[in-house]
Structures are given as structure tokens and as C-alpha cells.
Amino acid sequence: MSLNRITVIITAIALLVSACSEQDGAKKETPEKPQDAEVLVSQIPDSLKNDDLHIEFVYAEERIWETSLAVAIDPPPEGNYAGLDSFFVVVNSNNSKKQHPVAEIGPPRADYDGKWRTFRVIWKEQGFLAHKIVPILESYHDILVEQGLGHLEIKPGSPEGGPPEFFASHLNPLEPMDVIRE
């Protein structure tokens, strides 16, 4: 792995940790309003249409998953977010393929427990300029790389019509666990 790539990944992780460890757990940010209809395709992703908190499919651990019945949970006391994993909802992809949410971790990892804190992922102008049609983000690694390149902004909270900021839902595989995605 090249030194530049390692630097980008470390920078992205530092920025994400900083965003996840905000001091005021009650802080709510207003979703950004679309300014250019050609760039911001939709503020409510296509994949958020299931009755179980509007989540149909999720990317995690390099594969796609279905969600179990999801339930909203209370925010952790005193902003202690360490017990929650990150759940990323991309709000402005211009790719014609559906951009499903991305979970930080999933089965079969031992530290996976299905409790989530939602974040909005917003493609910045630099990302649209670099890619023209932005790629589908299929993993936490994809998010870290694009954020490290300055292509994404990550904000705590859920987009309007999306899952709650804090919720619990388990991931169920669409294909047998021994099938490796190419």
C-alpha cells in the first residue's frame, strides 16, 4: 500500500472520528437544500422505502444485506456514542443505480451488534467534478477513501424521510455467507 493511500485513509478516519465524537448529542443539523437540480438528484435516497424505518437494503462487509424489523432507540446518555456503529445514508448521488445505505460493520464480525447512529453523506462539488457520475459506495472503506480525497461531507443525523438518528436493526444476508462477492 502506498504512503499516499495510507495518508488518505488515516486522514479520513481522523475526520470521521472527529464527526462521530461531537460533544453535544442533542445537536440537530438542518438537511442541506438542493441548489442545483442537475447535481443533487434527490435528498431522499431511492433505497429508503421499506416500512421498517424505510430501509430496504444495506451495504456492509463488502456485500449487500436485507434489514430485519428496525426500531428506534434512545440516544446514548451524555453523548457516549462508542456503543453504536455508523450507518451512512448518501443523499445526493447522481448515479442511475440505487445507492443503498452503507453500514460501518456487519456480520460475521464479533463487534457487530446491530445498533446504529445515522449519518448523512453528501457528495461535494469536488466529487462530482472528479467522477462526473459518482461511484456507488459499497463499503465503509469506499466512504473513507472518498472523504479523504475531499469528495464527501459527512454530517450526523438522518435525511428527511430516512431512518431515525439512533436505531437498532440486524442485517440478514441475501446470499449464503460462503459466497464471496467479486
Burial class for 118, CB neighbours closer than 10 Å (0-12, 13-18, 19+): buried
Q: Which pLDDT band holds residue 22 (cuts at 50, 70, 90)?
A: very low
DSSP string, 83-103: G-EEEEEE-----SS----EE
From 8-17, 40-49, 76-85, 131-140, the region with the lowest mean pLDDT: 40-49
Q: Does 81 or 15 have the greater pLDDT score? A: 81
**Spatial CA neighbour of 20 closest among 108, 76, 82:** 82
Percentage of residues in the chain having pLDDT higher than 70: 66
Q: Which pLDDT band holds residue 1 (cuts at 50, 70, 90)?
A: low
- Using DSSP's 3-state secondary structure scheme, residue 140 falls into helix
Which range scores top for mean pLDDT: 18-27, 108-117, 119-128?
119-128
Q: Which pLDDT band holds residue 79 (cuts at 50, 70, 90)?
A: confident
The pLDDT of residue 34 = 38
Chain mean pLDDT for the chain: 79
Q: Which pLDDT band holds residue 27 (cuts at 50, 70, 90)?
A: very low
pTM for the whole structure: 0.70
Q: Over 50: is that where the pLDDT of 35 sits?
A: no
Question: Hey, how many other C-beta atoms are within 10 angstroms of the C-beta on 25?
Answer: 16
The pLDDT of residue 28 = 41
Q: Does 167 or 56 have the greater pLDDT score? A: 167
The pLDDT of residue 141 = 96
